[in-house]
């Protein structure tokens, strides 16, 4: 009870302070607020630079993708590293390594109505998922590859691809998914993803430019002009992100659903 009183006080203070700060804000949706148009006396507005110059710099119509993978590509690389670290951390925390005789066998309590084993091999679910999974994967690949022109990109596509494997594990069982995408494979794939991303960066360094300065890759990619080199490199980078995200999303699910044993699953 005491903790609830304390929590209420702390939360009310926090909320009050935040609202006190909000009072100074320009109205919601104001196109001339500082984030949208810069401040008077400051430099050129970043957001307006992105909107007006991105296509000139990179030939990528989806500004979000361009900013994500090029202007702020360093953030995105470390974001991928965060995902990778999470996969590793979950392995380190939960994975039961070695050939155990399953001491963590579930106790079937009465309220665990979910754990009726028979549910998994139902014919309707099985058949539907068998049809749907390839479509999900195809859509995932499209999202990765078409992220320049439409919403999407490495993360979204990677999550879709990863969730297609999760769907496989849900509709049949975890082993069926692991047969197609084993633990060794997904960790290799995850590391390869980051390697691809960072590889693009280091390639630029080898060509004596800064890390992730894709423009210089035109010599290697044989594109006309640095803009197209940027555009193509972004695709490569997104593919790397998609690799890592696919692998780690599935690995997180596999570990969480089987309590780290990678057996049975849900």
Partner 1 sequence: MVEFFEQHFNFWIYVILMMIGLWAVIAKNNLIKKLIGLSIFQTAIILFYVSLGVKENSTIPILDHHAPAAEVSADPHHNDEPSETGNHGELHPKAGHENDHHADAHVGAHAVEPDTMANPLPHVLMLTAIVVGVATLGVALALAQLIYKEFGTLEENEVLEIIKGGEAND
Partner 2 sequence: MILAFDIIILIFMVVAAIIALNVKDLLSAAMIYGIYGFLICLLWAEMGAVDVAFTEASVGAGVSAVLFIATVYNTKRKSSD
Partner 3 sequence: MTDQLPAIIVLTPMFGAILVSLLGNRDHRICFPIVLVSLLISLGASFGAAQEVFSTGAINYFMGGWEKPLGIGIQLRIDALNALVLLVIGSVSILTAFFSIRRIGEKNTEKTPQFYVLYLLLCSGLFGITIAADAFNLFVLIEVSSLTSYGLVAMGSSRRGTHAAFNYVIMGTVGASFYLIGVGYLYMKTGTLNMMDIRSILQSNVDIANSNAVTIAFLFILVGIWIKMAFFPLNGWLPNAYSYCPSSSACILAPLMTKVSVYVMLRVMISVFGLEWIFSHAQWSELVVWLAVIAILAGSIFALAQREIKKMLCYLIVAEVGYMVGGAWLADAEWWGLTGTIYHIIADAAMTLCLFLAAGIFVRRFNAVEISDLEGLFKKAPWTSVGFVIGGLAMIGVPPTCGFYSKFYLIRGGIDAGHWQFVAALLISSLVNAVLFFRIFEIAHFGNKPAEGHDHSHDANADEAPARQEAPLNALIPLLVSAAAILLIGLFNGQIVELIRVALEDFSTLALNLR
249 is a contact residue toward partner 2 (CB under 8 A): yes
Of 38 and 199, the one with the shorter C-beta distance to partner 1 is: 38
Of 49 and 55, the one with the shorter C-beta distance to partner 3 is: 49
| Nearest distance in Å: CB 31, partner 3 | 12
For CA atoms 54, 59, 61, 64, the dihedral sign is: negative
To which residue do tokens 């710099």 refer? 57
- Report the C-alpha gap between 219 and 221 in whole angstroms: 6
Quick note: the x/- pattern for partner 2 over 61-100, rule CB under 8 A, is -x-xx--x--------------------------------
Residues 187-246 that bind partner 3 (CB under 8 A): 187-188, 190-192, 194-195, 198, 201-202, 205, 209-215
| Nearest distance in Å: CB 115, partner 2 | 7
Crossing angle of helices 226-257/123-145, nearest 10°? 150
Residue 75 DSSP SS3: helix
163 is a contact residue toward partner 2 (CB under 8 A): yes
Of 26 and 134, the one with the shorter C-beta distance to partner 1 is: 26
Residue 230: HSE in the Cβ half-sphere, 13 Å Cα cutoff: 23
CB 80 within 8 A of CB 241: yes
CB 112 within 8 A of CB 122: no
251 is a contact residue toward partner 2 (CB under 8 A): no
Rg, Å, the chain Cα set: 24
**CA nearest 91: which of 265, 250, 243?**
250
| Nearest distance in Å: CB 109, partner 3 | 22
| Nearest distance in Å: CB 155, partner 2 | 6
- Report the C-alpha gap between 34 and 46 in whole angstroms: 10
**By the criterion CB under 8 A, which residues form the site for partner 3?**
17-18, 20-25, 33-47, 49-50, 70-75, 78-79, 81-82, 84-86, 88-93, 95, 97-98, 184, 187-188, 190-192, 194-195, 198, 201-202, 205, 209-215
């Amino acid at each position: 009870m005491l903790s609830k009183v304390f929590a209420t006080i702390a939360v009310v203070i926090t909320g009050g302070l935040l609202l006190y700060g909000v009072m100074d804000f320009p109205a919601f949706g104001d196109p001339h607020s500082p984030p949208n148009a810069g401040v008077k006396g400051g430099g050129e507005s970043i957001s307006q630079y992105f909107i007006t110059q991105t296509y000139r710099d990179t030939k990528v119509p989806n500004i979000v993708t361009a900013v994500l993978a090029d202007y702020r590509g360093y953030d995105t690389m470390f974001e991928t590293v965060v995902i990778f670290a999470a996969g590793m951390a979950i392995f380190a925390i939960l994975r039961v390594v070695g050939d155990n005789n399953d001491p963590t066998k579930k106790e079937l309590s009465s309220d665990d109505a979910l754990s009726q084993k028979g549910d998994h091999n139902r014919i309707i679910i099985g058949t539907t998922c068998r049809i749907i999974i390839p479509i999900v994967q195809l859509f995932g690949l499209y999202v990765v590859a078409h992220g320049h022109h439409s919403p999407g990109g490495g993360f979204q596509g990677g999550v879709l691809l990863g969730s297609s494997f999760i769907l496989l594990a849900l509709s049949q069982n975890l082993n069926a998914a692991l047969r197609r995408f084993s633990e060794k494979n997904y960790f290799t794939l995850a590391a390869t993803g980051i390697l691809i991303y960072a590889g693009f960066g280091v390639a630029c360094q080898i060509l004596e430019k800064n890390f992730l300065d894709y423009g210089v890759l035109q010599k290697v990619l044989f594109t006309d002009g640095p803009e197209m080199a940027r555009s193509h490199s972004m695709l490569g980078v997104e593919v790397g992100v998609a690799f890592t995200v696919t692998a780690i999303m599935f690995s997180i699910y596999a570990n969480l659903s089987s309590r780290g044993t990678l057996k049975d699953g849900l």
